[in-house]
Amino acid sequence: MKHTLNKNKQEILQAAQKQCLKHDLRFTSKRSNVLQLMLHENKPLSAYDIMADYKTQYNQSISAVSVYRMLDFLIHAQLVHKLASSSQYIVCSHITCHHAHETPQLLICDTCHQVEEIGIGTLLTSELEANIAATGFKLQHQQLELHGVCSSCQKLH
């Protein structure tokens, strides 16, 4: 799904709150703080980056365990995605979108480390799923991570 990404933090937060309400999930102030911090940084962060940032921004120490718990919640609520290749976390780019969340295809720039999230079309995913189903494998989680150089970094060369 191609669209212009919403960069308005307030709108993203409101949409996140709504999304949690709809799915009967509690968007506590701490969870909201973590999401705000991630939106503010606007780059992939590790759990330890988040822990350190939380202390600086909110003047409150939180344990690594609670950071991981909050991240698990945010992932479950489909507000955050984990980059398996680097164990970092990014905010979902489609929180304010009205379309159903598609299988994330994460384009990771190896130069500036920005990540662009685009959805994979249903045609392609159903082909993938059919291939996998044929082997008897049970798929639980799917996401593609692709490494390369983003368009702005390419312009710099």
**Sites of contact with Zn ion (CB under 5 A):** 3, 92, 94, 97, 104, 109, 111-112, 150, 153
- Closest distance to Zn ion from the beta carbon of 89 (Å): 12
CB of 13 to Zn ion, least distance (A): 16
Nearest alpha-carbon partner for 145 in 85, 98, 89: 85
Beta bridge partners of 144: 105
Q: What is the smallest separation between the CB atom of 61 and Zn ion, expressed in angstroms? A: 29
**In the bound complex, what is the minimum distance in angstroms from residue 79's beta carbon to Zn ion?**
8
Residue type, 113: H
Nearer to Zn ion, 99 or 138 (CB): 99
Tokens representing 117 are 């999230």
Closest approach, Cβ 111 to Zn ion, in A, equals 4
Residue that is written with structure tokens 């984990």 in the block: 82
Instruction: Give the Cα separation of 83 and 143 in Å (integer).
Output: 9
Side-chain-side CA neighbours of residue 82 (13 Å): 15
Nearest residue (CB) to Zn ion, 51 versus 92: 92
Residue number, 62 or 150, with CB nearest to Zn ion:
150
Residue 75 or 153 with smaller CB distance to Zn ion: 153
- Which DSSP state fits 43? S
Question: Cβ closer to Zn ion: 112 or 146?
Answer: 112
- Six-digit token pair at 97? 């979108």
Local structure of residue 104 (DSSP, 8 states)? E
What distance in Å separates the CA atoms of residue 153 and residue 52, rounded to the nearest whole number? 28
